[in-house]
Amino acid sequence: MENIFNEKKGNKSLTSMIFEKIREDILIGKYTSGEKIVEAKLAEEFGVSRTPVREALKQLELDGLVDNIPNRGVIVKGISNQDVEDIYTIRIAIEGIAVKWAIERMDENDLQKLKEIFELMEFYSFKKDIDKIAELNTKFHETIYNATKSRYLEHVLKDFQYFMKTTRYKSLRSPGRMESALEEHRKILEAFTDRDIDRAAEAILKHVNNSRDNAKKVSTKV
């Protein structure tokens, strides 16, 4: 395999890039729960030494995506249905704070960016481009988190967005969910435009609850 890490991206270290690549592969289902990840094989595939791969795997273990089991090696844990339920429950508990701080602290550039992302969501919904919609969905929420100007809250909620990637893709593919999600984001945007904290909190919590309910339906399908 061609070494995709020949040139560092920005200020990212080789270990960071390898970590992000393996994490992405786990979250999109390239690696399944219980599968063994072989350090030497990854180093060969990436065209790097084993040291940055080993460090990346340690970080994945800290994130709870893999287990390093004695005499077995590194085993994929992935994201379980319980993890998904926990993430939604925590989001419901703190999204209201994010909305309040975002509306209080956001500037016109933040609001304009939110509007532009939603317009793109409308466009790609018309095109039925699930991949693009899922990407824009993440950007929409991350724009709100960034507007809170709270690095701690932003860090926690952005991580949740990333870990929910696979679930989001599956959910958006279920009948009617793409259209209903778009309308939920429209309500959120309208409340933000009016700087109405209570209405925005109500809209975003409704959206998160609906997303959780739909994720449950998707996860129970065989």
Q: Cβ contacts of residue 15 below 8 Å, gap of 6+? A: 52, 55, 56, 59
Contact between 153 and 101 (Cβ < 8 Å): yes
pLDDT of residue 139: 95
Q: pTM of the entire structure? A: 0.79
Task: Write out pLDDT tens, residues 143-197.
Answer: 999 999 999 999 999 888 888 877 888 888 888 999 999 999 999 999 999 999 9
The answer as to whether 111 is a domain residue is yes
The answer as to whether 113 is a domain residue is yes
The domain boundary, picked from 76, 93, 125, lies at 76
**DSSP symbols for 6-63:** SS--TT--HHHHHHHHHHHHHHTTSS-TT-EE-HHHHHHHHTS-HHHHHHHHHHHHHT
Average pLDDT score over the chain = 89
CATH of the domain at 59: 1.10.10.10
In this model, does residue 89 exceed pLDDT 60?
yes
The answer as to whether 3 is a domain residue is no
Q: Which of 43-47, 121-125, 163-167, 200-204 has the lowest mean pLDDT?
A: 163-167
Q: State whether 89 and 54 are in the same domain.
A: no
Instruction: Name the percent of the chain lying above pLDDT 90.
Output: 67
Residue predicted with more confidence, 204 or 31: 204
In this model, does residue 222 exceed pLDDT 70?
no
CATH of the domain at 97: 1.20.120.530
The answer as to whether 30 is a domain residue is yes
In this model, does residue 9 exceed pLDDT 50?
yes
Q: State whether 52 and 162 are in the same domain.
A: no
In degrees and rounded to multiples of 5, residue 75 shows phi and psi of -115, 135
Which residues span the domain enclosing 70? 14-76
Pair of tokens at residue 42: 């990854």
Q: How confident is the model at residue 84 (pLDDT cuts 50, 70, 90)?
A: confident
Strand segments (E) across the chain: 36-37, 66-69, 73-76
Q: State whether 206 and 150 are in the same domain.
A: yes
The answer as to whether 135 is a domain residue is yes
Q: State whether 191 and 97 are in the same domain.
A: yes
pLDDT of residue 149: 96
Q: Which of 1-15, 41-55, 60-74 has the lowest mean pLDDT?
A: 1-15
Q: State whether 161 and 108 are in the same domain.
A: yes
**How confident is the model over 41-59, as a mean pLDDT?**
93
**How confident is the model over 36-41, as a mean pLDDT?**
93
The domain boundary, picked from 76, 96, 130, lies at 76
Q: State whether 45 and 152 are in the same domain.
A: no
Q: State whether 85 and 179 are in the same domain.
A: yes
Q: State whether 31 and 133 are in the same domain.
A: no
In degrees and rounded to multiples of 5, residue 33 shows phi and psi of -60, 130
The answer as to whether 137 is a domain residue is yes
The domain boundary, picked from 32, 51, 76, lies at 76
Domains identified in the chain, total number: 2
Q: Which of 7-11, 13-17, 180-184, 208-212 has the lowest mean pLDDT?
A: 7-11
Determine how β-strand 73-76 pairs with β-strand 36-37: antiparallel
Q: State whether 91 and 172 are in the same domain.
A: yes
The answer as to whether 5 is a domain residue is no
The answer as to whether 9 is a domain residue is no
Q: State whether 93 and 120 are in the same domain.
A: yes
Q: State whether 46 and 109 are in the same domain.
A: no
pLDDT of residue 71: 86
pLDDT of residue 167: 82
**How confident is the model over 15-26, as a mean pLDDT?**
90
Task: Write out pLDDT tens, residues 57-75.
Answer: 999 999 889 999 998 999 9
